[in-house]
Amino acid sequence: MPHLKITLAYDGTNYAGWQVQPAAHGPTIQGVVAAALNRLTGERICPVAAGRTDAGVHARGQVISFSTSSRIPVDRWPLALNSLLPEDIAALGAEVVSPEFHARYSARWKWYRYTIYNHSLPDVFSRRYSWQVRHPLDFAAMARGASYFTGRHDFRSFCAAGSPVRNYEREVLKANLSREGNFIFFDVVANGFLYHMVRIMAGTLVEIGRGRLLPEDVPVILAARSREKAGPTAPPQGLCLERVEY
């Protein structure tokens, strides 16, 4: 039975995240994609994703995997799936992979981008894809703060309280701040992410940018291993899963 890897992009605004939830929470990406796979193949397929994105979080390069006995040629999959998907979810590519491939467990690293729109006036076109921070932000201080995230650390302070995890250690390969006009981009590449990790990092960087924390507080917060020491959780719409590498 062929095993497939498919790359997806989605605008998460209208979804209760990736993972199938009790119906009351609204539709999920996984549910909508599974329904499209079902219509396309006649099989009950439950796709696995590289990153279980939260409600309102987007993806430009989510990766899913599943097995199917469908004989659709692999290069036809994206267009075939897109004809069945709503316009806020798109299949961008497909390839046949070995049966051991698992979208989540086989991932070597994932790249998330958090986008801040830093202006006192709203931007109507980016509001669904960024966090508007009205206060002036000290970019240089934020960039210095971000640099402390790189390396292997215990990220317990940057994990939502009550998360059912045993090992809080993750390796951050890159934690970089850049800007373009009124936008500030926070790019994080890591071998794994804890629940809300990027959003708490972004919330903490904004506290630094507003002068309510110092860049040098980041290593202190990391060492504290306590969610209460870090900044607030930045809102979901600024977050996007950009790419997964295997």
Query: Is residue 136 a contact residue for a second copy (CB under 8 A)?
Result: no
Catalytic residue status for 88: no
73 binds a second copy (CB under 8 A): no
Binding mask 79-118 for a second copy (x = CB under 8 A): x--x----xxxxxx--------------------------
**Using rule CB under 8 A, residue 60 touches a second copy:** yes
Nearer to a second copy, 180 or 228 (CB): 180
Q: Sign of torsion, CA 161 136 123 125?
A: negative
Which one, 9 or 35, has the nearer CB to a second copy? 9
* Contact flag: residue 120 with a second copy (CB under 8 A): yes
DSSP string, the chain: --EEEEEEEE-GGGSS-SS---GGG---HHHHHHHHHHHHHSS----EESS-PPTT-EEEEEEEEEE------GGGHHHHHHTTS-TTEEEEEEEEE-TT--TTTT-SEEEEEEEEEE-SS--TTTTTSSEEE-S---HHHHHHHHHTT-EEEE-GGGS-TT---S--EEEEEEEEEEEETTEEEEEEEES---TTHHHHHHHHHHHHHTTSS-TTHHHHHHHHT-GGGS-PPPPGGGEEEEEEE-
Q: Catalytic: which of 54, 88, 154, 217?
A: 54
Q: Work out whether 180 is an interface residue with a second copy (CB under 8 A).
A: no
Residue 10 Cβ vs a second copy, minimum distance, rounded to whole Å:
6
Q: Is the Cβ of residue 123 or residue 154 nearer to a second copy in the bound state?
A: 123
112 among the known binding-site residues? Answer: yes
Is residue 15 at the binding interface for a second copy, with CB under 8 A as the rule?
no
Residue 127 in contact with a second copy, rule: CB under 8 A: yes
Q: Does residue 182 belong to the site contacting a second copy (CB under 8 A)?
A: no
- The residues carrying an active-site annotation are 54
Binding site for a second copy (CB under 8 A): 9-11, 58, 60, 78-79, 82, 87-92, 120-125, 127, 129
Query: Which residues are annotated as part of the binding site for substrate?
Result: 112
